Chain A
Amino acid sequence: SAVISQKPSRDICQRGTSLTIQCQVDSQVTMMFWYRQQPGQSLTLIATANQGSEATYESGFVIDKFPISRPNLTFSTLTVSNMSPEDSSIYLCSVEGGNHINEQFFGPGTRLTVL
């Protein structure tokens, strides 16, 4: 299985600021995703991080608010821009890989609180 690390594990930020979350995988993976989990809710896919090209965003999410970088097959960043309290969530990095094609693995998450 793929081992995924995220930094930071948690942060408390002020309204109007931006936070960049890093995701590192221990092996090269093709598919990498970013999810948001708001308090008490299930996971919502923000975007697919594409290596060497712009990320593919889901409905309701835009690049200006959630810019994503994917410089190589083991690393990605998600920035939450111009934050508001509504952005308080757990942000999760995920990859497809491992022994089974299309098995999905998740990082430990970044717990963001916006004041």
Chain B
Amino acid sequence: KQEVTQIPAALSVPEGENLVLNCSFTDSAIYNLQWFRQDPGKGLTSLLLIQSSQREQTSGRLNASLDKSSGRSTLYIAASQPGDSATYLCAVKPRDDKIIFGKGTRLHILP
């Protein structure tokens, strides 16, 4: 059964630093992987989607990588800002099954 793990559960970094959030999954037979952002009490915003055939995707200061064979993805945030403070969720879509979420990383950017 597919399991998705995100480490660390929480992270605080000073403003301006670059940072990496990690996501691992147990079954490499995935269709795609998505990174989401969730602000407290709100819905999820899709940040990046990586298809299983892709290695990375970039959007502005965000870069997500995918290593399917090792079951790992990273979300890189460059030049962090206080507005980046949120919970970041990783989710994998297995083939022929529904999306599975990790528990998220709570990120706090210190001004």
Query: Hey, which bits of chain A sit against chain B, CB under 8 A?
Result: 1, 4, 6, 33, 41-43, 45, 48, 90, 92, 94, 100, 102-109, 111
Contacts and interface: CB of A to CB of B under 8 A. Distances in A.
Given A43-B44, A103-B32, 18 more contacts: A41-B103, A42-B89, A42-B102, A43-B101, A45-B98, A90-B43, A92-B43, A94-B44, A100-B51, A103-B46, A104-B99, A105-B46, A106-B44, A108-B42, A109-B41, A109-B42, A109-B43, A111-B41
Interface residues of B, number: 21
A85 B99 CA distance: 28
A41 B87 CA distance: 11
Is the contact region of chain A dominated by helix, strand, or loop, or is it mixed?
A: strand
A39 to B, nearest CB: 10
B71 to A, nearest CB: 18
Is the contact region of chain B dominated by helix, strand, or loop, or is it mixed?
A: strand
Contact of A104 (B41, B42, B46, B103): B46
Interface string B85-102: 000010101000011011
Contacts of B102: 42
A45 B93 CA distance: 13
Interface of B: 31-32, 34, 36, 41-46, 49, 51, 89, 91, 93, 98-99, 101-104
Contacts of B31: 102
A55 to B, nearest CB: 13
A1 B43 contact: no
B43 A107 contact: yes
A109 B32 CA distance: 24
A48 B99 CA distance: 12
A1 B46 contact: yes
Nearest to B99: A104
